[in-house]
Amino acid sequence: MKYVLAGASGFLGQALARDLAADGQDVVRLVRRAPAAPDELRWDPARGELDLDAIADADVLVNLAGANIGRPWTPTYRAVLRESRVSTTSTLANAAAKLDRRPTVITQSGVGGYGLDRGDDVLTEDTPLGDGFLAEVVRVWEGALDPAREAGCRVASLRTGVVLGRKAPAFQLLSLPFRFGLGGRFGSGTQYFPVVSLTDWLRAARFVADHETLTGPINVTLPNPVTNAEFARELAKALHRPALIPVPAAVMKAALGEFAWELLGSNRALPTRLQTAGFTFRHPNAPEAITAALHT
């Protein structure tokens, strides 16, 4: 199949492009500069510009673009976080709606859409979106798919937890203190911490692209949810280090502002739609996902 990828220069984008190419799929990477390779195509999502002729035969449009969420959410940066996701998704969705051949449109999204702290609630794709800044971002982010949906395209949004991979920026930050023997749980540690291995994220993204029955939000998280304390313990064990130094919630809030709730809040999301459609996880629990991350 022919895939058109936005956000192909990021960690997930690079990984997906490599995975698809290794399997013999045709991959076109969208870039905002002059193309430097035959598989690159210039676009301008800020202006909604994308060459329709160049993607007329595309089977799947995938949006993985978006500003880094792991920074303090100042008023200015909030606008960047929102716009970087909405403009890219909107440009792809509007382009798809104008094509004679309707492609599948998939966008990355986040389990933060369910709200920053849902306690022990089990969160499936049928759970309404929650409150707060990230929930609102997810609401408009996924809503930007509407033009493609209304035109008859199949659309899906991957509500993903923290992706664990050796070169994943989030995993590198999480594991660094442990490598120096200074790791521990965040806050109380009782909060559910949604994660997934890179291998399973890649497999899930391609599974969604291949299965016509999958539409709408798709949770991409471990089928066996893990608390932050359990995750810290397993990560320390895998690295042969202790997990004895918890990070107080007050310290995290002072250092990270509202973003701290991404790590302190509880999100017990389950990949219900994936599993119902027959998807099986290679790394269904935290120990296996962490071990895979350290080698992938």
Q: Per-residue pLDDT for 81 more than 90? A: yes
- Beta bridge partners of residue 104, listed in sequence order: 60
- Identity of the residue numbered 4: V
Determine which helix (DSSP H) or strand (DSSP E) holds 277, and give its type and residue range: none
Q: Residue 175 in contact with residue 231, Cβ under 8 Å?
A: no
At a CB cut-off of 8 Å and minimum separation 6, what does 89 contact?
63, 107, 141, 142, 144, 145
Span 58-68, mean pLDDT? 97
Span 121-148, mean pLDDT? 96
Q: Residue 118 in contact with residue 36, Cβ under 8 Å?
A: no
- Identity of the residue numbered 46: A
- Beta bridge partners of residue 60, listed in sequence order: 3, 104
Give me the pLDDT at residue 225, please.
97
Per-residue pLDDT tens over the stretch 156-168: 999 999 999 999 9
Write out the two tokens for 96. Answer: 């798809």
Give me the pLDDT at residue 290, please.
98
Confidence of residue 72 (pLDDT cuts 50, 70, 90): confident
Q: Residue 98 in contact with residue 49, Cβ under 8 Å?
A: no
**How does the average pLDDT of the chain come out, rounded?**
95
Secondary structure class of 249 (helix, strand, coil): helix
Give me the pLDDT at residue 220, please.
98
Determine which helix (DSSP H) or strand (DSSP E) holds 136, and give its type and residue range: helix 133-143
Confidence of residue 293 (pLDDT cuts 50, 70, 90): very high
* Pairwise CA distance, residues 226 & 289, whole Å: 11
Per-residue pLDDT tens over the stretch 149-203: 999 999 999 999 999 999 999 899 899 999 999 999 999 999 999 999 999 999 9
Secondary structure class of 196 (helix, strand, coil): strand
Q: Which residue has the tokens 């690079």?
A: 14
Domain 2-293 has CATH 3.90.470.20: no
Task: Look up residue 187 and give its DSSP letter.
Answer: T
* Pairwise CA distance, residues 169 & 26, whole Å: 27
Per-residue pLDDT tens over the stretch 260-274: 878 889 999 999 999
Give me the pLDDT at residue 158, please.
98
* Pairwise CA distance, residues 103 & 97, whole Å: 9
Report which of 111, 1, 8, 107 is spatially closest to residue 63, judged by C-alpha positions.
107
Write out the two tokens for 26. Answer: 């045709």
pLDDT more than 90, % of the chain: 89
Q: Residue 286 in contact with residue 228, Cβ under 8 Å?
A: no
Give me the pLDDT at residue 264, please.
87
Give me the pLDDT at residue 256, please.
76
Give me the pLDDT at residue 123, please.
98
